[in-house]
Structure 1
Amino acid sequence: MQDKSFSPERQSAFDARFEAQKIAFGPIVFQCVRYAWKRGMLQALAEAGDTGLSVDELAATGRWTPYVLKVVLETCLSAGVVQLRAGRYQLDKTGYCVLSDTITQINLDFVHDVCYVGMHDLDRSLDAGKPLGLQALGPWPTLYEGLSSLPEPAKTSWFAFDHFYSDTSFPAILRDVFSSGARQLMDIGANTGKFSRAALAHDAQVQLHLVDLPQQLAVADITLREAGVRERAHLHPVDMLDPAAPFPAGMDVVWMSQFLSCFSEPVIASILQRAAKALAHDGQVLIMDTFWDRQRYDIAAYCLINTSPYFTAMASGNSKVYESTDYIRLCEEAGLRLVSARDDIGYCHSLLRFAKA
């Protein structure tokens, strides 16, 4: 892997100290900026345009007191979300991103609604190897058992986060999935069945085998019935953590999307070994995921790297956003060889294709 740094090549000690303070006060800045967005302050400034608004003018609307406006907007000022010119606040470029950029809003909601409270237990989760922050949302041993019954707004924000990244990629990879003429296709980690639905709609001959926990398959079953493609779908409830639980055999293609990152390396190794055994003679394993080491832009790598602590504190306690080299190594140990790799799919996905070694 190439050397990597997110800081400027030449950074003064003063600048480095300022960056350190941004980290120290990061959670406070996050909440103030989110308040300004959710409560309409940023929208009011956007509507005012270049003339901006004073605190008194904003307070005159009756929506906020002068105290609230000063506390929140001054923090937004320090974060570059707004500007202050001649006593009047104006929306800055970062503020426009918060106000209008979908991916920024989805990330903000995910961090606030799913991660924020539980992240207080990150230290204990790291030490124990268990998602101890998950208790902020429910009593499950991992988040995956509780996905279908997460409280709101965490449930909506989790699925919005998950689907936004994956859904943009599905249309771009269906030709890859069916390039070998697959007739028996297995979707491991089928989740809500969105990929399976797309695959069944793309090819009228394929038989789709969905492998996941029973509660997730129940949701996928509804998705496929509503789409009118349930007759070619076969549901296989499997506990991924049980290395003795086999996958259905004779598969032309085994598909996994944003799935292996939910598990520790030993569990990934077990899943890959079972996937390899499930392949037909010329079958292939296709893995689509978000690898931080294969990103073209630092912004994508930054977001992916900082999703890993969510897996620690909230999801599983022992998984993360991996480097592609981790998957390649584990696949090789499972008797698979890398055939090809395709990057820049959707927002930040890569597709790794493996065949039997």
Structure 2
Amino acid sequence: MANRMSAIEAKYEAQKIAFAPIFFQAAVCLKELNILDVIAKARRGLTLDEIVEKTGLSNYGVQVLLEAGLCINMVEQDEEEKYTLTTVGRFIRSDRMTEVNMNFAKDVCYGGFEHLKESIVEGKPAGLKVFGNWPTIYEGLSKLPDQVKQSWFEFDHFYSDDAFPHALELVFKEPVKQIYDIGGNTGKWSRACCEYNEEVQIKMLDLPGQLNVAKAKNSKEAYADRISYFEINLLDEVQAIPKGADTVWMSQFLDCFSADEIMSILKRVYDAVDEQAFVYILEPFWNNQRFPASEFCLVGTSLYFTCMANGNSKMYHSEEVKKMSVDTGFEVVDTFELIGDSYHTLLKLRKKS
């Protein structure tokens, strides 16, 4: 579609981009300093002085933040100079998706993103240095500051949890005895499987740091003895995936790797399974979303991978992953698009006969 924006409109949009980091921090302050809360609780709005009184902040501080809020359509002011929240302001205040995304951007991404250009040029996550000297964020995930770690996991889980109930039904339609949960992080999928089926055995495959976190969480459960662990660094092409699974599960995992690395992982999965096994890939493909906001967030997440995570992966187009799967010897048996109330597509693979 042709861009029919006028020059004046386009220049305004350009200025929004120029000042975006500043207004982002203003939005964070409006929320975290309870300005949005006190306005929301007053049905007929509040004046500047009333907001100052209720928040205990300075007149100056509240004023500059409210003026910023007017510019980014978070608040509006009536003829009596009373402030109320707009729909945007209400989403910033209480929408869970917006909260997860803002916390992720603020805690995980913001400090390192001044190094994005360096990341693009060098092909490395240059922004990660603000947290530690690891080659990728995954080696350091368990060592991140608590608030950063919390925001990272909340972001990761938010975009997978809604898909799990429907995914469980799809996976367990087939006879399942042994699932390999590759890149299982905190073990949320493994626990969901054990709760869904009383006999299934799970083997989690991940880096030692992540497995230690998962072990601590899983140990509290009655089914803990049905979950085993296998330490592996899948960036090391020499490290093989063990045989024995009739089901392999990878949830929001392959987007953590470059195309070449994905091919290497899929080849090792191929070598580890027989013709009767099923391989499932759960991903929020950016091209397969109901709403523009979802696509926008996923493309932004690709830049997180560039600058903070590993320097070479992204959120993929569904056809890219399908092609890589076929090129490594699998056939795509089925595609379940936007399963449940989620952003995800589930690919069901099997070795070509």
Q: TM-score band, normalised by the shorter chain?
A: over 0.9
Specify the alignment match of 2:141 in structure 1: 147
* Alpha-carbon distance, 1:347 to partner: 2.5
Report matched runs for 1:1-357 at 5 Å.
10-49=4-43, 51-61=44-54, 63-86=56-79, 87-345=81-339, 346-357=341-352
* Alpha-carbon distance, 1:130 to partner: 0.7
* Separation in 1, partners of 2:95, 2:342: 14
* Alpha-carbon distance, 1:205 to partner: 2.1
Match of 1:351, SS state, is strand
* Alpha-carbon distance, 1:9 to partner: 5.8
- Matched-pair contact (CA < 8 Å) for 2:33–2:55: no
Match of 1:322, SS state, is coil
Please, which runs of 5 or more residues in structure 1 have no aligned partner? none
- Matched-pair contact (CA < 8 Å) for 2:38–2:55: no
- Matched-pair contact (CA < 8 Å) for 2:275–2:350: no
- Over residues 293-334 of structure 1, what are the superposed CA-to-partner deviations in whole Å (9 max), with x where a residue is unaligned? 011211111111111111111111111111111111111111
* Alpha-carbon distance, 1:143 to partner: 0.6
* Alpha-carbon distance, 1:190 to partner: 1.1
- Matched-pair contact (CA < 8 Å) for 2:203–2:230: yes
Query: Which amino acid is the alignment partner of residue 171 of structure 2?
Result: V
Query: Which amino acid is the alignment partner of residue 343 of structure 2?
Result: C
Match of 2:120, SS state, is helix
* Separation in 2, partners of 1:62, 1:356: 62
Query: Which amino acid is the alignment partner of residue 224 of structure 1?
Result: N
* Separation in 1, partners of 2:17, 2:315: 21
Please, which runs of 5 or more residues in structure 2 have no aligned partner? none
* Separation in 1, partners of 2:303, 2:21: 15
Bigger shift: residues 28-37 or 173-182: 173-182
* Alpha-carbon distance, 1:343 to partner: 1.5
* Alpha-carbon distance, 1:62 to partner: 5.9
* Separation in 1, partners of 2:270, 2:328: 7
Match of 2:276, SS state, is strand
- Matched-pair contact (CA < 8 Å) for 1:276–1:285: no
Match of 1:353, SS state, is strand
- Matched-pair contact (CA < 8 Å) for 2:274–2:351: no
Identity, in percent, stands at: 41
- Normalising by structure 1, report the TM-score: 0.95
* Alpha-carbon distance, 1:61 to partner: 3.5
> What number of residue pairs does the alignment pair up?
350
* Separation in 2, partners of 1:92, 1:62: 20
- Matched-pair contact (CA < 8 Å) for 1:194–1:223: no
Match of 2:319, SS state, is helix
- Normalising by structure 2, report the TM-score: 0.96
* Separation in 1, partners of 2:116, 2:199: 47
* Separation in 2, partners of 1:61, 1:285: 56
- Matched-pair contact (CA < 8 Å) for 1:197–1:223: no
* Alpha-carbon distance, 1:59 to partner: 2.1
* Alpha-carbon distance, 1:60 to partner: 3.0
